[in-house]
Homo-oligomer: A and B are copies of this chain.
Amino acid sequence: MIRNAEIIAVGSELLLGQICNSNAQFLSKQLAELGVNVYYHTVVGDNSTRLRDAINTAKQRSNLLIFTGGLGPTKDDLTKETIAEVLGKRLVMDEEAMSNIKAYFEKSQRKMSENNKKQALVLEGSSVLTNDYGMAPGMALSDETHTYMLLPGPPKELQPMFRHYGREFLLEKLGVKEQIVSKVLRFFGIGESQLETDIEDLIDNQTNPTIAPLAGDNEVTLRLTAKHHSIEEANRLIQQSETEILERVGEFFFGYDEDTIYSVVFNKIQQSSFTLSSAESLTGGLFSERMTSFTGASEVIEGAIVSYTNDVKEKVLGVQKQTLEQDGAVSAKSAEEMAQGVKKLLKTDIGISFTGVAGPGTMDNQPVGTVYIGIALPDGNTVVHKLQLAGTREGIKHRSAKYGCHLLLKELFK
């Protein structure tokens, strides 16, 4: 029976302050959702004596030990070797992991070095946790008193491994009877404090589901978490709460869970069989890059023109010389003609344009953060929105691209 957990990160880069222990944060959140109390985090370097001591200390005070890092191919990587030694277990070759590693090298046409074979060794008797995004497999095993889980260090390998395999292993160990259902609602265009104020009474008074707000990158999310022995009932509780929330702040809502505002817009445009192109000055290709990140992008995206100079705006996109001279490149008129120009040039149903001042310098006497977004719609109309944004150069670019998505949703799908 799992009583309490300790997360042990192995890696000298943590003790040198090169990276932050975000794995401990991720796992702590995940364990909290499973109802497991985390009593300690420990970080120890790539040193087998100190790691052994840390394991022995942890065993005395916790009975679920989750290790992160130290599963790589180099001789600094000694997590599983040290655990094997402490538990008196052998390391054995896992055939599936080995063929996964071989496939990785074949695919990238690189030569496998001898030390990569080490990565396929797992603790005897452990359940192997597949690594879908890297070479080192994870593993989990239990004896009479303790449960051990070993996960790779890179977050992009660790997170999917835990979500897809590690969590399952623990749920079974925990014999969880109560179903926990959670759902994230995502909002754009409203601040965290405004959203919290608008639904304060729901946040304060509701306990099932609980409602937890979190400010993210240019967006705000609400995580609803319901518990019930019937999964249908847990889902019904979530649905009811969601309806109440969206009645108040639905205009800013764009999606659920792993949705991004880009993925939502992409999917809606794909479903409508529209095609899309972009004319980007301020954003430098960011909108196009995000939109082409999805499988099936070639059905939706014809292309984009990044028009960083007036010459390209005029010669390629067909913005009038007069507009550039009289209104300037950062103006409603330029945004309009850019959107229409790219729509016509690339023969798409929708053209979207971004022009503005990302800073640090001003342009055309416009202050930093002035942004115009033009949308040439399938019906032949063109709309232009003006924004005034704050933040860094990078921040203004990203916020503008996301605003473009927000406006596409508003103009086309609401």
Q: Which residues of A contact B (CB under 8 A)?
A: 9, 12-22, 24-32, 37-45, 50, 53-54, 57, 61, 72-74, 104, 107-110, 113, 115-116, 133, 191-194, 196-197, 212-215, 223, 278, 280, 283-289, 291-293, 295, 297-298, 301-309, 311-312, 316, 345-347, 360-361, 369, 388-390, 392-394, 397
A13: chain B residues within 8 A (beta carbon): 212, 214
Cα A291 to Cα B308 with chains together (Å) = 11
A47–B282 CA distance with the chains assembled, in angstroms: 43
In addition to A15-B38, A39-B50, 17 A-B residue pairs with Cβ atoms within 8 Å of each other are A16-B29, A17-B28, A20-B24, A39-B44, A39-B45, A40-B54, A41-B43, A42-B42, A107-B388, A108-B388, A284-B291, A284-B292, A289-B397, A293-B393, A303-B309, A305-B316, A316-B316
Identity of the chain B residue whose Cβ is nearest the Cβ of A132 in the assembled complex: B392
Q: Are A192 and B74 in contact (CB under 8 A)?
A: yes
A298-B308 CB under 8 A given contacts A12-B212, A284-B288: yes
- Complex partner residue of A116 from B32, B193, B292, CB under 8 angstroms: B193
User: In the complex, which of the residues B31, B42, B196 contacts A74, with contact meaning CB atoms closer than 8 Å?
Assistant: B196
Known: A108-B389, A194-B113, A298-B309. A14 touches B39 (CB 8 A): no
Take A28-B17, A43-B24, A74-B193 as given contacts and tell me if A301 and B284 are in contact as well, using a CB distance cutoff of 8 Å: yes
Question: Does the CB pair B295–A393 fall under 8 Å?
Answer: yes
Q: Are B28 and A41 in contact (CB under 8 A)?
A: no
Q: Is the CB of A303 within 8 A of B301?
A: no
CB distance from A265 to the nearest CB of B (A): 15
Q: Is the interface of A mostly helix, strand, loop or mixed?
A: mixed
A41 neighbours in B (Cβ, 8 Å): 9, 14-15, 21, 41-43
Chain B hits for A28, CB < 8 A? 14-17
Cβ of A388: which chain B residues have Cβ within 8 Å of it?
107-109
User: With A and B bound together, what is the CA distance between A37 and B50 in angstroms?
Assistant: 13
Q: Is the Cβ of A20 less than 8 Å from the Cβ of B22?
A: yes
Specify how many copies of this chain sit in the oligomer.
2
Q: Is the CB of B285 within 8 A of A308?
A: no
Contact indicator A285/B306 (Cβ below 8 Å):
yes
Nearest CB of B to A153, in Å: 10
Residue A43 contacts which of B40, B57, B109, B346 (CB distance < 8 angstroms)?
B40
Q: List 25 A-B contacts (CB under 8 A).
A: A14-B41, A15-B37, A15-B39, A16-B32, A17-B27, A21-B21, A40-B50, A42-B42, A53-B61, A73-B193, A108-B389, A108-B390, A109-B388, A115-B193, A285-B285, A288-B306, A292-B308, A293-B393, A293-B397, A302-B308, A302-B309, A302-B311, A303-B309, A304-B304, A312-B346
Which B residues lie within 8 Å of A39 (CB)?
15, 44-45, 50
List the B side residues contacting A44 at CB < 8 Å. 39-40
Interface residue from B283, B291, B303, B305 paired with A303 (Cβ < 8 Å): B305
Q: What is the bound-complex CA distance between A306 and B133, given in angstroms? A: 28
Contact check: which of B284, B306, B361 meets A293 at CB < 8 Å?
B284
A296 to B229: give the CA distance in the assembly, Å.
60
> Assuming A285-B292, A390-B104, is B32 touching A25 (CB within 8 A)?
no
Query: Chain B residues with Cβ under 8 A from A305's Cβ?
Result: 303-306, 316
Cβ of A101 to closest chain B Cβ, rounded Å: 12
CB distance from A134 to the nearest CB of B (A): 10
Q: Closest B-chain residue to A275, C-beta based?
A: B309
The CA-CA distance from A21 to B38 in the complex, in Å, is 15
By a CB distance below 8 angstroms, the chain B residues around A393 are: 293, 295
